[in-house]
Amino acid sequence: MKVISFYTEGGGSSYEAEAEILRGSLEAVGMDHHIEAIPAWGDWYDHTAHKADFIRRMRQTYPGPLLWIDSDACVHADFTAYFEGLGKKGYDFGVHYFRGPAGGYEKSKLQEKGWRLLSGTTWWGDTERARALLNSWAEMNRIFRECGQREGGGQKNLWYLTTCLKGLKVARLPGRYCFVFDKPWAYEHKFKKQAGILCSFCNKGKKHPIHTSTDEPKIIEHTIASRDHRAKRRQTQDRNTRVMELRQNGKEVPGEKPAHAHVSNLRRMVYETAKDGPMTVALDFDDTFSLDPDTWTLVVELLIGRGHQVFIVTSRGDHHIPTAEEVIQEWLGDTVKVVRAAGHTDGKMGAALDAGYEVDVWADDEPWQIKPTNAKSKERKGAQMRRTELAKKRKRQGI
């Protein structure tokens, strides 16, 4: 079985970095894979609908079953045996049907049985019926695209086709093979009644075969980068934090190499001595962000998408119209905060420290505004501590 995926490069996409997490995790558990970079040419809807065409091309390239995994995923264990079993049982296609809501986190909307097809993980048998499904999916996406209908990025078209193709044998994959990282409560478990133990879902001490728990193992975990790339963005700090954990720590498999073990020695040295955790980036407003807000928006979204924290710090006063807050709201919404530094005796650095930010990187056309004295001494002390810890880390690693 070949694991396949693609990611878009260019156009401000963060998928290239996230695909490295997938690649490293597959190599850590010894899975055969083909992960390909393709140039970004459209938006998220165009790229997602291209999934059918890519899988069809892989079908013509590789014999045997194929397993598609979205590039913004991470593999935690070898799953070969389960999917080999699907082929032996004569299945044509395998997919997970999600019990949770289409959007949001309302547990009241959980369904008794999985109802919504998720195309993040799909298994394709090497059968005529699987080929028919794949060809129909690609063609249906093409027709919808030409009609200007792109809702769902092709996932809804696949969902429809699985219900109407005669003779197609579909396996319902367990949630562990398409695990949405921040919705563990949407997966089934059998609750055993024990004295003093309550169901984590409804807080009642009785059996609930359809209620949920975080006990569902994560074998293929999806971090849902589409929240950052769809027209209606739903960026969440939880996602940013999880991606940073997977990237920073590597794929942790007992006795196996970490996720970035396949990269060059130079890159590995840089990764191992990089800052532990996300960076905090301070961005000036006037004559920095305001010079090219569209480009800076792409930069900020890329930084946030990779788990870093970004905020605006400005000396602009209340008399300026529009205000910095109004402009940032227009371009970046509520994802970026604005810190006012006008009149602060310790400059922008002092204003940032007062607001609770210890800045790692500054972007400012007037660096002397960042400055001075007391604030600088506080920041210098923190920076010296970080340098000391980094030196100790390098010494331990023999670098």
Q: Is the pLDDT of residue 260 over 80?
A: no
292's CB contacts (< 8 A; 6+ apart) are: none
Q: Is the pLDDT of residue 108 over 90?
A: no
The pLDDT-based confidence of 231 (bands split at 50, 70, 90) is very low
* Mean local confidence (pLDDT), 165-180: 91
* C-alpha span between 114 and 99 (Å, rounded): 4
pLDDT of 156 reads: 87
Handedness of CA 246, 247, 248, 252 (dihedral sign): positive
Q: Please give the residue that has the higher pLDDT: either 234 or 139.
A: 139
The pLDDT-based confidence of 359 (bands split at 50, 70, 90) is very high
When mean pLDDT is compared over 60-74, 137-151, 169-183, the highest value belongs to 60-74
Q: Please give the residue that has the higher pLDDT: either 83 or 151.
A: 83
Amino acid at 260: H
pLDDT of 379 reads: 55
Is 136 within 8 Å of 158 (Cβ atoms)? no
CATH level 3 topology of 278-394: Rossmann fold (3.40.50)
Is 162 within 8 Å of 133 (Cβ atoms)? yes
Could you tell me the pTM of the whole model? 0.58
pLDDT of 193 reads: 42
pLDDT of 346 reads: 85
* Mean local confidence (pLDDT), 180-200: 58
* Mean local confidence (pLDDT), 148-165: 81
Least confident range of 43-47, 59-63, 171-175 = 43-47
**How are strands ordered across the β-sheet holding 116-124?**
33-39, 2-9, 66-69, 116-124, 93-98, 170-172
The pLDDT-based confidence of 395 (bands split at 50, 70, 90) is low
383's CB contacts (< 8 A; 6+ apart) are: none
pLDDT of 60 reads: 95
pLDDT of 264 reads: 55
pLDDT of 145 reads: 81
CATH level 3 topology of 2-181+218-249: Spore Coat Polysaccharide Biosynthesis Protein SpsA; Chain A (3.90.550)
When mean pLDDT is compared over 96-100, 125-129, 163-167, 266-270, the highest value belongs to 125-129
The pLDDT-based confidence of 121 (bands split at 50, 70, 90) is very high
* Mean local confidence (pLDDT), 244-249: 65
pLDDT of 318 reads: 74
The pLDDT-based confidence of 65 (bands split at 50, 70, 90) is very high
From 85, 87, 81, select the one nearest 64 (Cα to Cα): 87
Q: Please give the residue that has the higher pLDDT: either 321 or 125.
A: 125
Least confident range of 46-50, 136-140, 384-388 = 384-388
Q: Is the pLDDT of residue 3 over 60?
A: yes
Structural domain boundaries in the chain: 2-181+218-249, 278-394
- The rounded percent of the chain whose pLDDT value lies above 70 is 69
pLDDT of 187 reads: 77
Average pLDDT, the chain: 78
The pLDDT-based confidence of 14 (bands split at 50, 70, 90) is low
Q: Please give the residue that has the higher pLDDT: either 5 or 233.
A: 5
